[in-house]
Amino acid sequence: MKYLHNIGLYFLMLVQVFKRPQKRSVFRESLFKEIDELGLKSIGIVAFISFFVGGVVAIQTALNVDSPWIPKYLIGFATKRSIILEFAPTFMSIILAGKVGSYITSSIGTMRVTEQIDALEVMGVNALNYLVLPKVVATVFFYPFIVLLAMSLGIFGGWISGFLTGLFSSDNYIEGIQLDFKPYLIRYAITKTMVFAFMIATIPSFYGYYVKGGSLEVGKASTLSVVWTSIVIILLNYFLTQILLG
Amino acid sequence: MIEVKDIHKSFDNQKVLKGVSATFHKGETSMIIGSSGSGKTVFLKCLLGLFSPEKGDICYDDRHYSKMTLSEKRDLRKEMGMVFQGGALFDSETIEDNIKFPLKMFTNQSQEEMRDRVNFVLNRVRLENVNNKFPAELSGGMQKRVAIARAIVMNPKYLFCDEPNSGLDPQTAIVIDNLIQEITDEYQMITVINSHDMNSVMEIGEKIIFLKEGIKEWEGSYKTIFQTDNQAVIDFVYSSNLYKKVREVYNKS
């Protein structure tokens, strides 16, 4: 029953979130702040992880493809596909759910327990719309760029790892990443990312907005929000893959 | 005028307000007093529209809250100012941005006009050179004054304060009390204060409502509270030796 109640409350929250902003200039200002906070400040960690995981994927593939019958360019091909299809959109979204999700829950939750949200409501501000909508717009429209960056750096990391380990040649790798390029797969990854970004912004906001108690409860809510966002991303990943590729 | 008509509110089957009625007038400072758990905060949150009463109604200058749409309720709230117990200042924004926020949200004033208004209200609460500071850099009393400045920046008709003196030393508390009363007189607002600070009650309680277990037990003013024979009020207000002595001296004279 509690889960059903929370799901209902989540959708009621979305109704308030997707009202027209009360003041466009204030919304614009909040949006740029959120792009900086949720997007630009995540680029460092995304770049770092993408580069090294790309390298690891390429090395693992090279070590497992040791048959002389399998052409070496498949290492680049497999690395590219793994990164574009799963690593960049899904794995990165889960990392962002941890980093950004906990930030969103704790910042909104702290505002709740220190009565700052009540202060907004008393002023006549639609607090959900004011606090959550800029986050949703910032993540949904900015995370695809982050994921494109993750794809590029992951593939680049794979190439560097071959260069450093000597497990495969640069020519083979480049041939592999150029092989059978399907733009639809990029669109698929971007679509998934946008759906995941929506979840990354809304689920932690829900946990922050409806938190009751003090700082301890805000901490617990942050943990719960990361767990549930990750679960929802994994489930949606399955269904979206079935729908878009099946 | 705010007219509260027989409001009831409960949480998880526990009745917190059991039919409270009251009237609050323009230019008058009203105090809601009562022990912890008496329903003071819930009553104030009902007045603010943060809680909806299950029964009864609240009329703000003949506008019935129970009949308002969500957007009408939001419009009504633009006429309210609130000073929260902890200040509820936006801690990641400067003092100037905190006070400017309602102006940015609800007016079309230029940056220059907003800054002038911010400086005016800061001056009104006797604060200077704090525009670029963050709330954490100010003392408790200063934070309360910033909260008052933010509450009055839109020229509200109704001012609500939840324990404005909590955590303040007696001298600063009196400064805050006097400030609230001055502002109420000056802007002819309806001011309702939740408090269990007896100094404030005696200082500025033009109307005092005593709540006990969700019921209005007594109503009067700081002038009549000395003569009351209501035992619950006597037990609450004159619980300290100092106030017992004050009452004795008053009654003898």
ipTM of this predicted structure: 0.84
pLDDT at A52 over 90: yes
Q: What is the pLDDT of residue B227?
A: 79
Q: Specify the pLDDT at position B125.
A: 86
Residues of B in contact with A121 (CB under 8 A): 50, 77
Spatial distance between the Cα atoms of A101 and B75, rounded to a whole number of angstroms: 32
Per DSSP, B188 falls in state T
Interface test with B, best of A122, A126, A212 (most B CBs within 10 A): A122
- pLDDT at residue B173 in the model: 84
The rounded distance, in Å, linking the Cα atoms of B100 and B106 is 10
Convert the pLDDT of each residue in B150-209 to its tens digit: 999 998 999 999 988 887 888 888 888 888 898 899 889 999 999 888 888 888 888 999
Q: Which chain B residue lies closest to A27 (C-alpha atoms)?
A: B105
Q: Which residues of A touch B88 (CB under 8 A)?
A: 114-116, 118-119
Model pLDDT, residue A15: 95
Measure the CA–CA gap between B63 and B79, rounded to whole angstroms.
13
Residue B35: pLDDT band with limits 50, 70, 90 = confident
Residue A40 in this model has a pLDDT that exceeds 80: yes
Residues of chain A found within 8 Å of residue B49, distances taken between Cβ atoms: 122
pLDDT at A155 over 90: yes
pLDDT digits (tens, 9 = 90+) for A174-203: 999 999 889 999 999 999 999 999 999 999
Mean pLDDT along residues B99-124: 93
Query: What pLDDT is recorded for position A2?
Result: 84
Of A6-10, A217-221, B229-233, B247-251, least confident by mean pLDDT is B247-251
* Number of domains comprising chain A: 1
Give a yes or no: residue A39 inside a domain: yes
Of all residues in chain B, what percent carry a pLDDT higher than 70?
100
To the nearest whole Å, the CA of B44 is away from the closest chain A CA by 12
A19 domain-assigned:
no
**Confidence tier at B66 by pLDDT (50, 70, 90):** confident
Axis crossing angle, helix B95-106 with helix B140-152, rounded to the nearest 10? 20
The structure tokens 């040649």 sit at A169
Name the 3-class secondary structure at B216.
strand
Q: Per-residue pLDDT averaged across B114-136, rounded?
A: 92
Interface of B with A (CB under 8 A): 48-50, 74-78, 80, 82, 84-86, 88-91, 101-102, 104-106, 160
Residue A119 has its nearest CB partner, among B74, B75, B84, at B84
Q: Is the pLDDT of residue A124 over 90?
A: no
Print the domain residue range for A176: 32-245
Q: Which residues contact A163 (CB under 8 A, 6 or more apart)?
A: A170
Say which residue, B19 or B241, is predicted with more confidence: B19
Q: Min CA distance, B104 vs chain A (Å)?
A: 7
Q: How far is CA A143 from CA A135, A188, B84, B153, in A?
A: 11, 14, 37, 38
Q: What confidence score (pLDDT) does residue B224 get? A: 85
Query: According to the model, what pLDDT value does residue A151 have?
Result: 96
Instruction: Give me the pLDDT at residue A75, please.
Output: 93
Predicted confidence at residue A95, as pLDDT, reads 95
Output the pLDDT for position B251. 74
Which chain B residues are closer than 8 Å to A22 by Cβ?
105-106
User: Which amino acid is located at A138 in the chain?
Assistant: A
pLDDT band at A106 (very low <50, low <70, confident <90, very high): very high
A82 in a structural domain: yes
Two structure tokens written together for A45: 């960690």
Testing the interface with B: which of A103, A104, A123, A215 to mutate, by most B Cβ within 10 A? A123
Taking CA B170 as the corner, what is the angle to CA B166 and CA B175, rounded to the nearest 5 degrees?
90
pLDDT for the residue A143: 96
- Asked if the model's pLDDT at residue B246 lies above 80, the reply is no
Q: What is the pTM of this model?
A: 0.87
Indicate whether A140 pLDDT > 90: yes
pLDDT for the residue A244: 92
What is the pLDDT at residue B240?
76
Give dist(CA A132, CA A201) in Å, integer.
7
What percent of chain A stands above pLDDT 90? 89
Packed helices A92-113 and A43-64: angle between N→C axes, nearest 10 degrees: 150
Count the helices and strands in chain B (H runs, E runs). 9, 10
Picking from A26, A115, A124, the nearest residue to B77 by CB comes out as A124
Q: For residue range B6-27, what is the model confidence (pLDDT) as tens digits?
A: 999 999 889 999 999 999 999 9
| Tokens read off for A82 | 């793994």
Q: In this structure, are residues A87 and A149 in contact, taking their beta carbons and an 8 Å threshold?
A: no
| DSSP H or E stretch at residue A132 | helix A127-165
Please give the backbone phi and psi of residue B205, each rounded to the nearest 5 degrees, phi first: -75, 80
Q: A208 pLDDT exceeds 80?
A: yes
B49: pLDDT confidence band, cut at 50, 70 and 90? confident
Strand B215-220 and strand B207-212: the pairing is antiparallel
Q: Which of A68-77, A105-114, A159-168 has the highest mean pLDDT?
A: A105-114
Instruction: Give the tokens for residue B160.
Output: 């609500």
Give chain A's mean pLDDT: 94
Taking CA atoms, what residue in B is nearest to A21? Answer: B105
pLDDT for B174 equals 86
What integer pLDDT is reported at residue B46 of this predicted model? 92
Which CATH superfamily does the domain covering B2-79+158-252 fall into? P-loop containing nucleotide triphosphate hydrolases (3.40.50.300)
Residue B26: predicted pLDDT: 92
Spatial contact of A214 and A113, defined as CB atoms under 8 Å apart:
yes
Return the H-helix or E-strand segment holding B80.
Answer: strand B80-83
Q: Find tokens 């009650």 and name the residue.
A: B201
Residues written for chain A:
246
Mean per-residue pLDDT, A144-154: 96
